[in-house]
Amino acid sequence: MMFLSLKHLLTRKKQSVLILLGIIIGTSAYVAISGMMLGFQTKLMDQLVNNDAHIRISAREELLTSESLDSFPEAEHVFWSLPPSGRKDSAKIQYPLGWFEKLNKDHDVIAFVPQVNINVIFNRASVTVAGRMIGADPLKQERVSNIQQYMISGAFKDIGTSGSRIILGKALMQSLGARQSETILITSGKGPSMPFKIVGVFDTGSKNIDENTVFTSLGDAQKLRGSPSEITDIAVKIEQPDLAEIKSAEWKTSSHEKIMSWQESSASILSVFKTQDIVRNSMTISIIIVAGFGIYNILSILVTQKKRDIAILRSMGFTPNDIVSLFFNQGLILGILGGVIGLGLGFIICFLMGQIEIVPGRMGSSTGRMIISYDLIIYVKAIIIALLSSLFSSIFPARAAGSLDPMDIIRSGGQ
C-alpha cells in the first residue's frame, strides 16, 4: 500500500508540506532548545559537581543555651541572670582522625581533603573586601576539585604547605586592585592581620567564588584562625557523584557533624534545571501535538473524501488491514521524513548557536562560544516524539477507514 500512500501524499502537496513543516518545526525546536539548555546545564552541572566536594563534612554549628554548660560540675551552683547565647566559638571537626580512617577505608571515596574555611577581610591600601579563605593541602585539593583548570595565572600548587601564599579569584583581584606577586593583608577578625603573597589567579566563571574566595595552605589558614591542628571541613570526592545524596545520608546516621551532598547544597539550582526541563518539554510537545492534530484532521478529511476509493479497493480484494495501512503509512512517511529533516535542521541551528560569542566562563565554553549539547539522547528522543505523534494521530483515522463497510459506501453513492 506504500505506493498508494505516496500517491495520496504527492497529490495533496500543499497539505503534505504543511504537516511536514509542523513536524520539522517541532522536531528541530526540540533539538535546538534541548541542545542549548542541556549544554548550559552540563556546564553548570560540571561546575556544581567538580568545582567543589561531592560531599562536604563540616563542623556542626552549635548555639549556646542555658543548658550548654550543664556538663561542668559547678553548673548546679550557677543561676544565670542572662543565659549564654549565640554561636559556639571555634567550630571544628570533633574527631578528624576517625573521619580520615573511615574515608580511607570507604571504597566509594576517591579522594578527600581536610580544610579550614574561615570568613576573612582582605586589605590592600585603603581597599577592604570581605571574603572567604579556604586552607587546604594543594595536592589533595587538586584531587577533589578541578580548580587547577580555572587557573589563569600561576599554578594551584604554588600555595605550597606554608609560606603565606594565596591564589585568588579574578574578580576579587580586580576589586582589590592587586597584582600578582603583591602582598595583601588578611584578618580573620581575631588577632592581628597577616600578610599573604598573591601567587596565582583563577577564574571559574562563578561570580560567587571569583569575587570573594582565596585558597591558601592548611597550615597558614590554621595560623590565621589561631587554632593549629584544627579543621573545619572535609571535602570528599566519590566514585559516582550521582550517589552523593545516598552516601551522605548513610554517613549522617553515625555522625554528629554536618554532612551535605552537592545535590543538597545546590538544590535551588537543580530545581531551576527541572523547571527548565518542564518548560522545554512542554513547549516542544505542544508544537508536536499541534502537528499531530494537523495529521489527524487532514487524514480524517481524506478518509471521508476517499470513501469511494475504499469501496472500490475492497471490491478488488484489498483487506481492511490494507486500507488501514493506506492511511497509516501516510502518517508514518510524514513522521519519518519530518523527523529526519527536523533533526538535520535542529543540528544546523545548534551548530549556528554554538558560533555565538559570549562572555567566556559564564554560559559559554573557555573558547568564549555558547556551549551546546550534541548528546545522542536528544536526537533519539526528538525522532521518537516525532514518530509517536505522527503514528498516534494517523492510527485513529486509519482504523476508521479500515472499518468502513464497502456496501454502506456503495449504497450511499460513495458519500
Interface residues with another protein (CB under 8 A)?
A: 3-4, 7-8, 10-11, 308-309, 311-320, 322, 406-407, 410, 413-414
What is the DSSP track for 26-77?
HHHHHHHHHHHHHHHHHHHHHHHHHSS-SEEEEPPP-B--TTTTTTSGGGGG
Q: How far is CA 104 from CA 101, 110, 122, 238, 246, in A?
A: 5, 9, 36, 12, 18
Rounded to the nearest whole angstrom, what is the least distance from the CB of residue 291 to another protein in the complex? Answer: 24
Q: How far is CA 49 from CA 10, 110, 264, in A?
A: 53, 14, 12
CB 57 within 8 A of CB 257: yes
CB 262 within 8 A of CB 48: yes
Rounded to the nearest whole angstrom, what is the least distance from the CB of residue 267 to another protein in the complex? Answer: 59
The owner of cell 570507604 is 106
The owner of cell 470513501 is 307
Q: Taking the mean position of all CA atoms in its chain, how far away is CA 147?
A: 19
Q: Which is nearer to another protein, 8 or 223 (CB)?
A: 8
Q: Which is nearer to another protein, 9 or 136 (CB)?
A: 9
CB 161 within 8 A of CB 131: no
Pairing of strands 233-238, 109-124: antiparallel
Rounded to the nearest whole angstrom, what is the least distance from the CB of residue 268 to another protein in the complex? Answer: 59
Rounded to the nearest whole angstrom, what is the least distance from the CB of residue 327 to another protein in the complex? Answer: 14
Q: Which is nearer to another protein, 12 or 132 (CB)?
A: 12
Q: Which is nearer to another protein, 9 or 111 (CB)?
A: 9
Rounded to the nearest whole angstrom, what is the least distance from the CB of residue 309 to another protein in the complex? Answer: 5
Closest CA to 361 of 165, 172, 210, 153: 210
Q: Which is nearer to another protein, 37 or 299 (CB)?
A: 299
Q: Which is nearer to another protein, 96 or 320 (CB)?
A: 320
Rounded to the nearest whole angstrom, what is the least distance from the CB of residue 401 to another protein in the complex? Answer: 14
How wide is the angle at C-alpha 238 spanned by C-alphas 232 and 244, nearest 5°? 85
The owner of cell 560540571 is 46
Rounded to the nearest whole angstrom, what is the least distance from the CB of residue 33 to another protein in the complex? Answer: 38
Q: Which is nearer to another protein, 315 or 366 (CB)?
A: 315
Q: Which is nearer to another protein, 165 or 314 (CB)?
A: 314
CB 138 within 8 A of CB 187: no
Rounded to the nearest whole angstrom, what is the least distance from the CB of residue 9 to another protein in the complex? Answer: 9
d(CA 239, CA 232): 23
Which of helix, strand or coil describes residue 201? strand
> What b/e string do you get for 4-28 counting C-beta neighbours within 10 Å, with b at 16 or more?
bbeebbeebeebbeebbebbbbbbb
CB 33 within 8 A of CB 280: yes
Residue 229 is placed in which grid cell?
A: 591542628
Rounded to the nearest whole angstrom, what is the least distance from the CB of residue 3 to another protein in the complex? Answer: 7
CB 338 within 8 A of CB 24: yes
Rounded to the nearest whole angstrom, what is the least distance from the CB of residue 303 to another protein in the complex? Answer: 14
